[in-house]
Structure 1
Amino acid sequence: MAAAVPPARPYRDFLTPALHKRFTDASFYTLVLCYLISVWMDDWGNYLWAWFPIGPAGIRALLLFISALVVFILRVAQWHVGQRNTERPLDTFRKYAIRKNTVLTLAGYAISAWFYCEIYIWTRAGKSRLGFTDRGGRQHDWIRLNERPLYLRFMFFTLAIVQGVCHLWYDYDTIDLPAMKPRKERNDDPEPPPKQQPSRVLIQKLKPMGLTAVLLVLTTFLLGNLLYFLGFRNILWEYYYSFAAMIVSLRRSSSPFGLPPFAPLVGMFISQGFLLVLLWQLVNTAFGIYISQPPLKKDKPVTSDSKDPNGSLLSGLKSKKDTVKAIALWELALITDRFPDRRKTIYSEIDRKTAPTSKQITDICLAEIRLLTTRINIALDPTFRPVNEDGKKQEVGPIALVSRVSQPIKDGAVTYQGPDPDRTRTAEAVQLASGLAKDLSSPKNSNLRKSPYVRNGLEYSQNFIKENTQKAEAQMEATGFWPALIKSSMGVPFRYNLHRTASLIVTGAPYSRLSPLCNAISAIANLAVLSIKEDDWGRFSDHVPDIIRAFTVALQKLDEYVDSLTVHWTDLEALSKPEEERKKTAEVEQVREGLREGLRGILGVFGEYLRAMNMAVVEIQEAKRAVARGPEMAHVR
Structure 2
Amino acid sequence: MAPAVNARPYRDFLTTSLHRRFAKASFYTLFLCWVIAIWMGDWNSLFWTWFPLSAVGLRTIALYIPAFMVFMIRVSQWHVGQRNTVTPNQVFNRLATKKSTFLTFALYSFSAWVYSEIYIWTQSQHGRLQFTVDQGRFTERIKLNERPVYLRFMFVILGCIQTIVHLWADYDQIRIPVKRTEQTGKTNILQLMRANLVLMFSRSIILAASAFPIATVLYYLVGRDPLWRLHFFLVQFFVSLSRNAKPSGVAPFMSLAVIYLIEGTLVTFLWQYTNFIFSSYINREPLKKELPITNDSKDPNGSLLNGLKSKKDAVKSTAFWELAIITERFPDRRKTIYAEPDRVKGPTHTQIINICLAELGEIHKRVDAAMNPDRSTQEPGKSSAPAETQLVRQIAQPLKEGQILGPKAVPQSRWEKVGAVTGEIARNNSSSQNVQNSYAKEYLKKGQEKASHGVRQAESWWDVHRNRLAASPVGWPFRQSLPRTANVVVAGAFYSRQATIFNAITALANLAVHSLSEDIYGSFHNEVPEIIRTLTQAIKDIDAYMNVIQIHWTDFETLTKPEAERKKVKEVEEITAELKDGLEKIVRAFTEYLPGMKISSEEIREAKRLVAKGPEVAQLR
Q: TM-score scaled by structure 1? A: 0.82
- Within 5 Å, give how 1:393-432 maps onto structure 2: none
Map of 2:256 onto structure 1:
265
Map of 2:489 onto structure 1:
505
Q: Deviations over 1:223-262 (max 9, x none)?
A: 1112223443234323332443344211343321122222
Report the alpha carbon displacement of residue 10 of structure 1 after superposing the two structures with TM: 1.7
Report the Cα distance in structure 2 between the residues aligned to 1:422 and 1:23, rounded to whole angstroms: 73
Report the alpha carbon displacement of residue 496 of structure 1 after superposing the two structures with TM: 1.1
Q: Deviations over 1:474-497 (max 9, x none)?
A: x679x6322112222332112110
- Within 5 Å, give how 1:198-277 maps onto structure 2: 198-277=189-268
Q: Structure 1 residues 374 and 44 mapped into 2: Cα distance closer, same or farther (>3 Å)?
A: same
Q: Structure 1 residues 349 and 570 mapped into 2: Cα distance closer, same or farther (>3 Å)?
A: same
Q: Deviations over 1:21-45 (max 9, x none)?
A: 1111111111001001101001224
Map of 2:525 onto structure 1:
541
Q: Does 1:134 align with 2:133?
A: yes
Report the Cα distance in structure 2 between the residues aligned to 1:621 and 1:316, rounded to whole angstroms: 36
Q: Does 1:170 align with 2:169?
A: yes
Map of 1:617 onto structure 2:
601
Report the alpha carbon displacement of residue 171 of structure 1 after superposing the two structures with TM: 1.3
Report the Cα distance in structure 2 between the residues aligned to 1:235 and 1:160, rounded to whole angstroms: 20
Amino acid at match of 1:129: R
Map of 1:285 onto structure 2:
276
Q: Does 1:519 align with 2:508?
A: no
Q: Which has the larger radius of gyration?
A: 2
Report the Cα distance in structure 2 between the residues aligned to 1:139 and 1:480, rounded to whole angstroms: 73
Report the alpha carbon displacement of residue 350 of structure 1 after superposing the two structures with TM: 1.5
Tell me, yes or no, if the aligned pair for 1:86 and 1:500 is still in contact at 8 Å. Answer: yes
Map of 1:315 onto structure 2:
306
Q: Does 1:302 align with 2:293?
A: yes
Map of 1:69 onto structure 2:
68
Map of 1:562 onto structure 2:
546
Report the Cα distance in structure 1 between the residues aligned to 2:278 and 2:200, rounded to whole angstroms: 14
Amino acid at match of 1:581: E
Map of 1:112 onto structure 2:
111
Q: Deviations over 1:556-612 (max 9, x none)?
A: 111000111111121111112111111111111111111111111111111222221
Map of 2:160 onto structure 1:
161
Q: Structure 1 residues 498 and 629 mapped into 2: Cα distance closer, same or farther (>3 Å)?
A: farther
Report the Cα distance in structure 1 between the residues aligned to 2:198 and 2:241, rounded to whole angstroms: 47
Map of 1:585 onto structure 2:
569
Report the Cα distance in structure 2 between the residues aligned to 1:137 and 1:552, rounded to whole angstroms: 85
Identity of aligned residues (%): 47
Report the Cα distance in structure 2 between the residues aligned to 1:627 and 1:266, rounded to whole angstroms: 64
Report the Cα distance in structure 1 between the residues aligned to 2:376 and 2:285, rounded to whole angstroms: 37
Report the Cα distance in structure 1 between the residues aligned to 2:43 and 2:501, rounded to whole angstroms: 56
Q: Deviations over 1:165-215 (max 9, x none)?
A: 11111111111111138x8xxxxxxx6234332332233111111111011
Report the Cα distance in structure 2 between the residues aligned to 1:480 and 1:254, rounded to whole angstroms: 58
Q: Structure 1 residues 387 and 69 mapped into 2: Cα distance closer, same or farther (>3 Å)?
A: farther
Q: Structure 1 residues 385 and 506 mapped into 2: Cα distance closer, same or farther (>3 Å)?
A: farther
Report the Cα distance in structure 1 between the residues aligned to 2:204 and 2:364, rounded to whole angstroms: 44
Report the alpha carbon displacement of residue 421 of structure 1 after superposing the two structures with TM: 6.7
Map of 2:23 onto structure 1:
24
Report the alpha carbon displacement of residue 61 of structure 1 after superposing the two structures with TM: 0.3
Q: Structure 1 residues 4 and 618 mapped into 2: Cα distance closer, same or farther (>3 Å)?
A: closer
Tell me, yes or no, if the aligned pair for 1:180 and 1:333 is still in contact at 8 Å. Answer: no
Report the Cα distance in structure 1 between the residues aligned to 2:36 and 2:204, rounded to whole angstroms: 15
Amino acid at match of 2:75: V
Report the alpha carbon displacement of residue 104 of structure 1 after superposing the two structures with TM: 0.4
Report the Cα distance in structure 2 between the residues aligned to 1:4 and 1:176, rounded to whole angstroms: 34
Q: Structure 1 residues 385 and 289 mapped into 2: Cα distance closer, same or farther (>3 Å)?
A: farther
- Structure 1: any 5+ residue segments left out of the alignment? 184-190, 396-416, 428-467, 631-637
Match of 2:513 among 521, 529, 532: 529
Tell me, yes or no, if the aligned pair for 2:2 and 2:343 is still in contact at 8 Å. Answer: no
Report the Cα distance in structure 1 between the residues aligned to 2:529 and 2:19, rounded to whole angstroms: 42
Name the SS of the counterpart of 2:116 in structure 1.
helix
Report the Cα distance in structure 2 between the residues aligned to 1:570 and 1:138, rounded to whole angstroms: 69
Report the Cα distance in structure 1 between the residues aligned to 2:238 and 2:352, rounded to whole angstroms: 68
Amino acid at match of 1:530: H
Q: Structure 1 residues 420 and 616 mapped into 2: Cα distance closer, same or farther (>3 Å)?
A: farther
Report the alpha carbon displacement of residue 371 of structure 1 after superposing the two structures with TM: 0.9
Q: Does 1:90 align with 2:103?
A: no
Report the Cα distance in structure 2 between the residues aligned to 1:494 and 1:113, rounded to whole angstroms: 33
Tell me, yes or no, if the aligned pair for 1:234 and 1:255 is still in contact at 8 Å. Answer: no
Report the Cα distance in structure 2 between the residues aligned to 1:420 and 1:343, rounded to whole angstroms: 77
Report the Cα distance in structure 1 between the residues aligned to 2:145 and 2:260, rounded to whole angstroms: 17
Amino acid at match of 2:478: F
Q: Deviations over 1:459-515 (max 9, x none)?
A: xxxxxxxxx9xx999x679x6322112222332112110001110111111111111
Report the Cα distance in structure 2 between the residues aligned to 1:618 and 1:380, rounded to whole angstroms: 25
Tell me, yes or no, if the aligned pair for 1:306 and 1:312 is still in contact at 8 Å. Answer: yes
Report the Cα distance in structure 2 between the residues aligned to 1:171 and 1:274, rounded to whole angstroms: 21
Amino acid at match of 1:543: E
Map of 1:398 onto structure 2:
none
Report the Cα distance in structure 1 between the residues aligned to 2:79 and 2:381, rounded to whole angstroms: 33
Tell me, yes or no, if the aligned pair for 1:374 and 1:386 is still in contact at 8 Å. Answer: no
Report the Cα distance in structure 2 between the residues aligned to 1:387 and 1:333, rounded to whole angstroms: 37
Tell me, yes or no, if the aligned pair for 1:209 and 1:278 is still in contact at 8 Å. Answer: yes
Report the alpha carbon displacement of residue 311 of structure 1 after superposing the two structures with TM: 1.4
Report the alpha carbon displacement of residue 317 of structure 1 after superposing the two structures with TM: 0.8
Name the SS of the counterpart of 1:48 in structure 2.
coil
Moved more, 92-101 or 553-562: 92-101
Map of 1:330 onto structure 2:
321
Q: Structure 1 residues 387 and 34 mapped into 2: Cα distance closer, same or farther (>3 Å)?
A: farther
Map of 1:143 onto structure 2:
142
Q: Structure 1 residues 303 and 156 mapped into 2: Cα distance closer, same or farther (>3 Å)?
A: same
Name the SS of the counterpart of 2:47 in structure 1.
helix
Report the alpha carbon displacement of residue 392 of structure 1 after superposing the two structures with TM: 12
Q: Deviations over 1:68-122 (max 9, x none)?
A: 1111011101111111111111111112123211110000001101111111111
Q: Does 1:360 align with 2:360?
A: no
Report the Cα distance in structure 2 between the residues aligned to 1:297 and 1:39, rounded to whole angstroms: 36
Tell me, yes or no, if the aligned pair for 1:43 and 1:124 is still in contact at 8 Å. Answer: no
Tell me, yes or no, if the aligned pair for 1:82 and 1:513 is still in contact at 8 Å. Answer: yes
Amino acid at match of 1:213: S
Report the Cα distance in structure 2 between the residues aligned to 1:38 and 1:326, rounded to whole angstroms: 39
Map of 2:361 onto structure 1:
370
Report the alpha carbon displacement of residue 162 of structure 1 after superposing the two structures with TM: 0.5
Report the Cα distance in structure 2 between the residues aligned to 1:274 and 1:256, rounded to whole angstroms: 27
Tell me, yes or no, if the aligned pair for 2:204 and 2:265 is still in contact at 8 Å. Answer: yes
Q: TM-score scaled by structure 2? A: 0.84
Tell me, yes or no, if the aligned pair for 2:141 and 2:241 is still in contact at 8 Å. Answer: yes
Q: Structure 1 residues 4 and 195 mapped into 2: Cα distance closer, same or farther (>3 Å)?
A: closer
Amino acid at match of 1:483: N
Match of 2:584 among 572, 583, 600: 600
Map of 1:461 onto structure 2:
none
Name the SS of the counterpart of 1:480 in structure 2.
helix
- Within 5 Å, give how 1:338-349 maps onto structure 2: 338-349=329-340
Amino acid at match of 1:288: S
Moved more, 203-212 or 485-494: 485-494
Q: Structure 1 residues 113 and 195 mapped into 2: Cα distance closer, same or farther (>3 Å)?
A: same
